[in-house]
């Protein structure tokens, strides 16, 4: 008589979950910009720059970039630290100088990238995403 082997397979994770787990483990939680759920956090230095932060956020969202504003009543240093711990890849800081010049100060994964206009920032993000996807 013929015997047929039977394999019992149990996968505790689905393929998407396995992929996500591998990426998170490989990158130590530092997701690429294109995959990060929160690509940009905008930090107004104080409440009086909230309108400018909102304008920058709207421009980013209209450019299909996932952005949000962190205007909590905490020190700027504490907000930067907490956002870094959340592994948000890009931080845009807006204050008096940025408002006067129509720019944002950009930090990427803890490294200062300098000041750029909001439109230049959109181009910067799109080119960074294209570079990540190319590799």
Quick: pLDDT tens for 36-50. Answer: 999 999 999 999 999
Predicted local distance difference test score (pLDDT) of residue 9: 61
- CATH numeric code, 30-134: 3.40.50.800
Q: What is the pTM of this model?
A: 0.83
* pLDDT tens-digit map of 80-119: 999 999 999 999 999 999 999 999 999 999 899 999 999 9
Domain range summary for the chain, segments of one domain joined by +:
30-134
Among 105, 64, 70, residue whose Cα is nearest residue 86: 70
How many CB atoms are located within 10 Å of the residue 70 CB?
Answer: 19
């Amino acid at each position: 008589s013929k015997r047929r082997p039977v394999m019992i397979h149990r996968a505790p994770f689905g393929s998407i979950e396995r992929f996500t787990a591998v990426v998170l483990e490989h990158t130590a939680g530092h997701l690429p910009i294109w995959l990060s759920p929160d690509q940009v956090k905008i930090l107004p230095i104080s409440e009086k720059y909230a309108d400018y932060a909102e304008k920058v956020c709207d421009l980013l969202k209209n450019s299909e970039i996932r952005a949000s504003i962190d205007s909590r009543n905490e020190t700027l240093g504490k907000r930067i630290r907490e956002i870094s711990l959340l592994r948000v890849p890009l931080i845009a800081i807006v204050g008096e100088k940025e408002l006067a010049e129509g720019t944002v100060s950009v930090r990427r994964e803890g490294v200062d990238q300098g000041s750029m206009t909001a439109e230049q920032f959109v181009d910067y993000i799109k080119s960074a995403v294209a570079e990540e996807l190319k590799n």
